[in-house]
Structure 1
Amino acid sequence: MSGMEIASYLMGVAYVVGLLALSATLARKSDRSVWLFGKGAQSQAVPALLFKLAFAGAVVWPLLGTLGNPFRLDPLTSWLSGTWFDVVGHMLVVIGFCLAIIAQRHMGNSWRIGAAEGEVGVIVDSGPFAISRNPVFLGQAMLFLGLFLVLPSLIQAILTLALLLAITLQVRIEERVLLQSLGEPYRVYCARVRRWLGTYSSRSESGR
């Protein structure tokens, strides 16, 4: 791997480690579990499995490139090779890393992994959450898209698609849980801030 590829890979690993470490720290500070994938009425088994596959793959798969170049017969490796792909990809990795970590820290005691009725925190609507209802997921998506551009392969594409599908499924689940648990305040927040990025000019446009 080139220097930029190594840097991007290490940022991906650092994010996975940081996600777990920060989650453990927040759980210890709040004296409760933040792992809610196995709880609640909404089944989260599929997105939970996809998240695990994506994050584990992001750590393990690039290392195989040091063992005889397993990507040599992969068309994506040659099609997407080049300095500009590396530069743009690395920028996405850096921005996604920073956004996801900052947003997770900003949630404080409201941070959860998964969602369950009766175990949601207070609405966080400041900082990055003032312009996105899901800045952590948005940062993760940017990070994985960046890794794909820097380290293009069919496997990396599958890992990226797995993460994007997991995010899509989990956001729908969490929105239902939050609306049921928090009611009108969450509805008002959704009417003001877009699901991914930006704010609404009128409440009638919410939910997209």
Structure 2
Amino acid sequence: MTGMEMASYLMVVVYVISFLAMSAILAREAGRPVWLFDRGGGAQAVPALLFRVAFAGAVLWPLWLAVAGNPMPGDPLTRRLDGPWLDVLGHLLVVVGACLAILAQRFMGTSWRIGAAEGEQGALVDGGPFAISRNPVFVGQALVFIGLFLVLPGLVQGLLTLILLVAIRLQVGIEERVLAISLGAPYRAYMDRVPRWIGRPRRGA
């Protein structure tokens, strides 16, 4: 690995550790478990599995590349996308994405949950990063994976990024339905006002 690749990989590892540690801290502050994938019904089994695969791969695959090298030396994505400028852009996305995701996770406080289940959601959080995105944690995670792909372009890293994006899209659809039921009119008004991913809030909504 080059220095930039190693720095990006270490940032991903730091983010994953921070995500787990922050989840434990927020669970202790809330006085209840925050893991709801197992309580939210079978529909969340697929995104839950995809998230596990994506994050495990993001930690283990770059390590494999560093130790054993790429088992696909003719990888077309590596040949076409490997370069110093994309490394810089990718590293920037990893850093920005990790910071956004952790900031948004901490901003949720005792409303933080992993997964969704009716009657188990915390209070509506609509300030800070949630004023410009209904899903800033997921936006940050997507930036982390896209950035890591630019730094370490290849078919496997591209597949891991795609898996993460599919998991996010599936889970967001589930969570929005659960939140609309659990939180009612205030959340539906929030959906009308704030974009799903990122952008300026809509006035008068």
Normalising by structure 1, we get a TM-score of 0.95
Name the SS for the 1:44 alignment partner: helix
Q: What is the CA-CA distance between 1:78 and the residue it aligns to?
A: 1.2
Residues 1:2 and 2:8 aligned together: no
Report if the CA contact (8 A) 1:42-1:116 is conserved. no
Q: Are positions 1:185 and 2:186 aligned together? A: yes
1:69 aligns with 2:69: yes
The one-letter amino acid of 2:184's match is G
Which amino acid in the other structure matches residue 202 of structure 2?
Y
Q: Aligned partners of 1:169, 1:42: CA distance in 2, in Å?
A: 13
1:100-147: CA deviations, max 9, x gaps? 000000000000000000000001011000000000000000010000
What's the CA shift string for 1:72-102, capped at 9, x where partnerless? 2211111111111101101100100100000
CA RMSD of aligned residues (A): 1.1
Could you say what secondary structure the match of 1:35 adopts? coil
* Identical counterparts, % of pairs: 65
Matches within 5 A, 1:118-137: 118-137=119-138
SS at match of 1:40: coil
Alpha-carbon distance in 2 for matches of 1:29, 1:134: 22
Which letter maps to 2:59? V
* 1:187 partner letter: R
Shift of 1:41: 4.1
Shift in CA distance, 41/63, structure 1 to aligned 2, threshold 3 Å: closer
Please give the alpha-carbon distance, in whole angstroms, between the structure 2 residues aligned to 1:68 and 1:187. 50
1:142 equivalent in structure 2 = 143
Q: Which residue of 2 aligns with 1:80?
A: 81
| 1:102-181 superposed matches below 5 A | 102-181=103-182
Deviations, residues 13-72 of structure 1 (Å, cap 9, x unaligned): 111111111101111121100000011346200000000000000000011112342242
Q: Which residue of 1 aligns with 2:101?
A: 100
Match of 1:90 in 2: 91
Q: Given that residues 91 and 146 in structure 1 are in contact (C-alpha distance below 8 angstroms), is that contact kept between their aligned partners in structure 2?
A: yes
Residue 65 of structure 2 aligns with an amino acid whose one-letter code is: G
Determine if contact 1:42/1:173 at 8 Å carries over to the other structure.
no
**Structure 1, 64-73 or 51-60: larger mean CA deviation:** 64-73
In the superposition, the TM-score normalised over structure 2's length comes to 0.96
Question: What is the distance in 2 between the residues matched to 1:56 and 1:101?
Answer: 18
Q: Which runs of 5+ in 2 are unaligned?
A: none
Q: How many residues matched?
A: 203
Equivalent residues in 2 for 1:16-31 (5 A)? 16-31=16-31
Say if 2:18 is the partner of 1:13. Answer: no
**Distance in 2 (alpha carbons) for counterparts of 1:86 and 1:18:** 23
* Code of the aligned partner of 1:28: R
Q: For the residues of structure 1 that align with 2:35 and 2:185, how far apart are their CA atoms?
A: 25
Look up the match of 2:45. 45
Which segments of 5 or more consecutive residues in structure 1 lack a partner in the other structure?
204-208
Mean Cα deviation higher: 86-95 or 69-78 = 69-78
CA distances 1:157-190 after superposition (whole Å, capped 9, x unpaired): 0100000000000000000000001110001111
